[in-house]
Structure 1
Amino acid sequence: MRIGIVCGYSFDVPGGVQFHVRDLAEHLIATGHDVSVLAPAEDATPVPDYLVPAGRTVALPYNGSVARLNFGPVAAARTRRWLEEGDFDVLHLHEPITPSLSMLALWIANGPIVGTFHTAMDRSRALQVASPLVRPLLEKIGGRIAVSEEARRTVVEHLGGDAVVVPNGVFVDRFADAPRAEAWCGTDERPTVAFLGRLDEARKGLPVLAEAIPQVLAQVPGARFLVAGRGDVTEYRSTLGHLGDAVTFLGPVSDAEKESLLASADVYVAPHTGGESFGIVLVEAMSAGAHVVASDIPAFRAVLDGGRYGTLFPTGDAAALAAALVPALRDRGASRSVVEAAREGVRRFDWSVVTREVLAVYEMVTASGAHVREDPRSSTVVGRLRAALDGRTEVEQ
């Protein structure tokens, strides 16, 4: 099958959606499919051979984070050219209503189209304003996927319609077989706790962890906290510096280093405060054999099966986080039982399983035998807007 995948977010500073797109593409290629990915990226950014860079982006605040998007006449021209050259059997758009390449591709293309929705949110003024415009446009999508029940809820409440839940994927064995790093491995006397996330995004929960660390050290004096991720650590060094080598800031880590870190740590902590639709790093940590301690937000609760595969604590409560970390570090036997349960449960997220579910959606939307082609009404912005506003947008067979 000839598959075109569009990612709306930049590969210059990749995040969860970009990693999902990358891994899905690589697993599809490994199983014999012909895949091309279109995504924002500077020409100098190293990208895989199957990825076509669509140029520089604009950084915009979005859902508690910063989204780097590519939208405008130049991006539209590149998208149109990529679609023309691709002759795709199916077009797979990630975050199709985000004003970036996926929305442009949806605007321009017709035929078998699949959309994956990654975002979870309770309220969005932007979606409320845009909904009357994008709902008719979304009728062009023949198969909708949400990466979690939270993402599905967002689709249903904000956009109308429904979506099938197909979770994010992980190469489970890659994390399970990752080499351990001696510097990051814990012992009975000095167990290690790992945190990974963008340090300057409060929703990732580092302020909650920073408040909990002294409380943990009061009961487990030898504990070590390994903090990895991009962002300014000046504030945290000033507040945690007196703890000496109990806290180590590792800075950004490569994929291989992340795998090794998660395989080496006794506990992985995810103190996020919201804005998460899934929790891919929890699945990675479970795959690597770490005991996961996570805030009790809906997405994390679902991944951990209500606490069966890890420990949940009340969101934003530093004292509760400390109370959850202490037994996880002290009772290594109990931790091992949780880890073993998680090793089995995490198999449902392996790419071998997830890709089969994605392909089932592809097969559904391509059953007519049509190919992706240009929508003749996309030649003018006014024409497309008028068609969307009067509700006449339809998928042409």
Structure 2
Amino acid sequence: MTARPLRVGLVCPYSFDHPGGVQNHVLGLAQHLRAQGHEPFVLGLGHAELPGALAGRFTSAGSAVPVRYNGSVARVRFGPGSAARARRWLAAADLDVLHVHEPLTPSISILALWAAEVPVVATFHTATPRSRSMQLAGSTLRGTVDKIDAGIAVSEPAARVVRRYLGRDPQVIPNGFRWAEFAGGGRSTGGWRGGDHPRLVFLGRVEEPRKGLGVLLEALPAVRAVHPDLEVVVAGTGQRALPSWVRRETSVTDAGKAALLAGADVFVAPHTARESFGIVLLEAMASGAPVVASDLPAFTSLLAHDRDAEVGVGRLFPTGDAGALSAAVLEVLAARDVVGAERGRRHARAFDWSVVGPAVEDVYRRVLEPAAPRVADPADGARDAGLATARRSAS
């Protein structure tokens, strides 16, 4: 890494008033960079209260507008006013390197990219094969793509989308998280992790069909037929009618999420589409909760089932198949596999910011010092470490 601290601009195209995976990743990376002595500055939409040493380092480019985008609702902002704010922010921050996230989304990331006069690193989060923004970029935004000095994809499925439409080969660096914040959950010494009754947890925006809550609700009667005392917790934002026996948590703090996962006997991720990573799966595994997830490419890759299904962590079921989901949940509750849970903890640790953050810093070093050698891809290291651990545990 360069000897001096770097001034790094991080741009998120989505509103911080409605937290999501990209927003959390940007804030987590900013915290890591500041802890390493760098000077991170964040440009985003809405409002964000950055903690501790990051206080005062967030600049808002204005409020966001909800629009239908890539089959979902994105809260973005685009226009001359936002472009002017991006230019003023760039001038005031006096950056060494600009790091834009989802650089081709019609929002402030692309506006900052257009205005940049410093080296640019771009992280691609989208893993949707039919992404409209990527299709458009590949055909009409070649000059914009050429401004990117180094590309990062958060998963191999996301990297395939970049290769397909942009003809670039990004380095795969996974999303990071703070493993220790979730690893404090107590190990079960008898009974269920959730107390006197088994506990199943779902976490996600309940009104968004792709999060798969409908699939889970269809699967639950079969599970409750075997475990009539099952406690079902649905946590996350949004409004949706739910059965009376479902416990609803509408506002979950970071500490509350960690506590909820620490008491989960099974965590279910029944998502049906457009997932590029799956950080909540890692949070659940770090807490020691067994994970049951749909076999979306991103989840398959994250749980290390793409290389050797015999030693992957967690359990996968065919996406959208409620019967297979109920069977997988029943198997997990019957097995109560403490060894498998510990294997999941170790696998998740490979995605801690202490591993992921230095890999991102290395990309900054290479765009500033092009002759510098590239270090090993941490995504490969994380997957290899998880597989090696799984093999040792299975033997």
Q: TM-score, normalised by structure 1?
A: 0.85
| Greater mean deviation of Cα atoms: 323-332 or 170-179 | 170-179
Partner of 1:37: 42
Question: Deviation of residue 301 (structure 1)?
Answer: 0.8
Alignment of 1:159-238 (within 5 A): 159-177=166-184, 185-187=193-195, 190-234=197-241, 236=242
User: Could you tell me how far apart the structure 2 residues matched to 1:126 and 1:205 are?
Assistant: 24
Partners of 1:178 and 1:38 in 2: CA distance: 34
Q: Counterpart amino acid of 1:364?
A: R
The one of 328, 331, 339 aligned to 1:327:
331
The Cα shift of 1:110 comes to: 2.2
- Corresponding residue number in structure 2 for 1:313: 317
Q: Which residue of 2 aligns with 1:264?
A: 263
CA offsets 1:40-94 (integer angstroms, 9 cap, x no match): 115xx64552211111111112233211111111111111111001111111000
State the AA in 2 paired with 1:34: E
Residue deviations 1:160-215, cap 9 Å, x none? 211000000010011102589xxx9524x611011000001111000000001111
Distance in 2 (CA, whole Å) between partners of 1:3 and 1:127 is: 25
Aligned to 2:355: 353
How many positions carry a matched residue from both structures?
353
2:39 counterpart of 1:28: no
Once the two structures are superposed, residues 282-307 of structure 1 have per-residue CA deviations (whole angstroms, 9 ceiling, x without a partner) of 01111111100001111111111115
* 1:102-141 alignment, distance < 5 Å: 102-141=109-148
Instruction: Tell me the residue number matched to 1:53.
Output: 60
Amino acid at match of 1:2: R
**Unmatched tracts of structure 1, length 5 or more:** 370-397
Amino acid at match of 2:340: V
Residue 288 of structure 1 corresponds to 287
Identical-pair percentage: 52
Greater share of residues in helix: 1
Q: Does the residue aligned with 2:350 lie in a helix, a strand or coil? A: helix
Amino acid at match of 2:118: G
Contact 1:220 1:330 in 2 (8 A): no
What amino acid sits opposite 2:139 in the alignment? P
CA–CA distance in structure 2, aligned partners of residues 147 and 203 of structure 1: 19
Which has the larger displacement, 60-69 or 154-163?
A: 60-69
1:37 counterpart letter in structure 2: V
- Alpha-carbon separation, structure 2, partners of 1:105 and 1:71: 11
Gaps of 5+ in 2: 1-5, 372-395
Which residue in the other structure is 1:252 paired with? 251
Preserved CA contact (<8 Å) 2:137 2:165: no
Give the distance between the partners of 1:141 and 1:35, measured in 2 at CA: 19
Query: What residue is the counterpart of 2:378 in the other structure?
Result: none
Q: CA deviation at 1:36?
A: 0.5
**1:97 matched to 2:101:** no
The 2-side partners of 1:53 and 1:125 are apart by: 26
Matched, 1:12 2:11: no
Structure 1 residue 155: Cα displacement: 0.6
Q: How does 1:384-395 map to 2 (within 5 A)?
A: none
- Residues 111 and 321 of structure 1: is their aligned pair in 2 closer, same or farther, counting only changes over 3 Å? same
Query: Contact (CA 8 Å) 1:179, 1:260: kept in 2 or not?
Result: no
CA RMSD in angstroms, aligned pairs only:
1.8
Per mean C-alpha deviation after superposition, the further-off stretch among 298-307 and 142-151 is 298-307
Tell which structure's C-alpha radius of gyration is larger.
1
